[in-house]
Structure 1
Amino acid sequence: MHIVFGDSPTGSLKIALKESGLIQQENIINFSDLFSIGPILNLHDAQGFNSRYEWLRTHIRMDDEGIFTYETSFRQTILNIEQIPSHHLIVIWAGENAHEQTGLRFVLYLLKEKRNNIVMININEAYKTHFERPEIDFIPRCMGELSSGQLKQIYENEKNAHVLTQTERKAFEQQWVQLCNEKEVLRIWENNKIISVPENYYDEYIINTVKNFQQKKKHNDFIKSARIIGEVIGHLNQYIGDQFIHYRIIRLIMDGVLDMEGVPTAMRYYSIKIR
């Protein structure tokens, strides 16, 4: 039983298992979420989930269908994890980023009463072992940045890797207990740790990016917000998603730091500049 964090890596892993002839024997549980953003305070209980759901609904742009699907999908994923048969090997895929590492700790907490053997595949370590080349400057920020072919090769080499000991599992469970007591809504990965930071952590970087774009223009014109969001996301070594940057831009507009032209129903429909 594979546990994966995100729709894109789930799709790639499905192809990898199909090409390996394993798609009929091995299943994937997908946590369709982004754990680097949003509240995770006591997420393992109903009140914690409701708080996260409300924050996402009111801060991150999802249509009515998307937010309804999120709630249904989340609850079904929890149920799927609870119903994993005790004799199944569990393989959890996680890269060196706050999203997947938070998800890893959350899942291991949910599995704390189960006696299944659990293997964790660190996609960054696996990438270094099997694909890293001195002439290629690339470090995957998350599992979704690896191809199905790369995942196939990684799994073939890592599926018999070290099974987590009870001591290691307890350590991850305790880390989740500590993490889920924090109230911040933004997490980054730094020095091999999940760090909770204020939600305005990247505001200055967003503002400087807008300033740099404006300086390159002859006139003090508005800049498409999608270009700013793409530039910010492209240069961050963190995996926090474009919707969070979109949310912070809207907050900077509301606070009078940025001016807006257009309608912010989606990031491609409005432009911004420094007020």
Structure 2
Amino acid sequence: MKHLIFGNAAASCLKYAFLKQNHQIISFPIDFSVGPITNIHQPGGIKVHFAWKASCFQEVQNFHADQSDYQEALEQLAEIKDGDQLTIWTCENASEQIGLRIICYLLSGKDVELRIVNTTNAMQEYMKGKGIEVIILSTGGCNAKQLIHFYNHSYSYITKEMRQAFEQEGEELLKHVSLVRSWKQGEIIDELETRDDALILEYIKSVEQEGGEETFINAARVVGGVLTESDQFFSDSWIEYRIRSLIQSGYLRYVGSLQAMRMYRVKTA
């Protein structure tokens, strides 16, 4: 079995889950929900995407390694042969839903068996009757035991009609010029780059009300708070980038150094 999965955290957990089994994990270390994705299956589009990330996300990350790993995943995808069995892992978020569609487009014309595991739905079924509600925003929120259970019990087959629809949507997505995309009511929606700014400001104001008007709040705390309150999945690097953008546009003041989120604090202007 070959597995196609999106995001470093989810891929690491899946590799651990199948450590002793002869499964191939093809992981795409990328967040398709932010940044340019036009022709992101081709060298030019890949270069543009990772150059954008390197210019916007200043937290310590190895963009060159991610770019190399992503290109390797595309090469592994191209080597898939007729008759191969594939499981695509996805979740109810823009990145993984976009990944699902782009992958199906890139597999066009190959006679392969496609299974899908939607980890949001799988988790709901897994926790049913246990008296605990667990809501995950990404496959990276699952542990290895859960992933193995989902693989054995929570998959479905992608029908010919579903595959055709995914392929068409994937082809269109590779033409999108937006920088931000959300997953709302089962659809991928293009958004403005400022999508999350109001949520960030609202969170900062709520903390200020608790601590006083002169309160400066650690940027890392803001990032964590916004991630907790949002119903969308996005990375801490994305939120930190938007905090710095709000500083640049005059909506926020800061003290400290903007070199890393742990080194500065913010308050509303």
Q: Which band: TM-score by shorter chain?
A: over 0.9
Secondary structure at 2:18's aligned position in 1? helix
Q: Which residue of 2 aligns with 1:16?
A: 17
Work out the number of aligned pairs and report it.
Answer: 268
Q: How does 1:187-226 map to 2 (within 5 A)?
A: 187-218=181-212, 220-226=214-220
Aligned-residue sequence identity (percent) comes to 29
Q: Which residue of 2 aligns with 1:261?
A: 255
Secondary structure at 2:62's aligned position in 1? helix
1:197-237: per-residue Cα shift (whole Å, max 9, x none)?
A: 10101111111111111111145121101111110001111
Residue 35 (structure 1) aligned with residue 26 (structure 2): no
1:66-109: per-residue Cα shift (whole Å, max 9, x none)?
A: 12112211111110111123332011000111011011111111
Q: Which residue of 2 aligns with 1:167?
A: 161
Q: Which residue of 1 aligns with 2:51?
A: 54
Q: Give, in whole Å, the separation in 1 of the partners of 2:212 and 2:67.
A: 47
Q: Give, in whole Å, the separation in 1 of the partners of 2:142 and 2:251.
A: 37
Question: Which of 98, 102, 106 is 1:102 aligned to?
Answer: 98
Q: How does 1:47-86 map to 2 (within 5 A)?
A: 47-61=44-58, 63=60, 66-86=62-82
Q: Report the residue type matching 1:30 in the other structure.
A: S
Q: Which residue of 2 aligns with 1:114?
A: 110
Q: Give, in whole Å, the separation in 1 of the partners of 2:166 and 2:143.
A: 28
Residue 243 (structure 1) aligned with residue 237 (structure 2): yes
Q: Give, in whole Å, the separation in 2 of the partners of 1:218 and 1:86.
A: 64
Q: Report the residue type matching 2:258 in the other structure.
A: P
Instruction: Tell me how large the CA RMSD over aligned residues is.
Output: 1.7
1:89-130: per-residue Cα shift (whole Å, max 9, x none)?
A: 011000111011011111111111311111111112222222
Residue 3 (structure 1) aligned with residue 9 (structure 2): no
Distance 1:221 1:151, change over 3 A: same
Q: Give, in whole Å, the separation in 2 of the partners of 1:70 and 1:269.
A: 25
Q: Report the residue type matching 1:189 in the other structure.
A: W
Q: Report the residue type matching 1:8 in the other structure.
A: A
After TM superposition, which residue ranges in structure 1, 4 or more long, deviate above 6 angstroms?
none
Q: Which residue of 2 aligns with 1:230?
A: 224
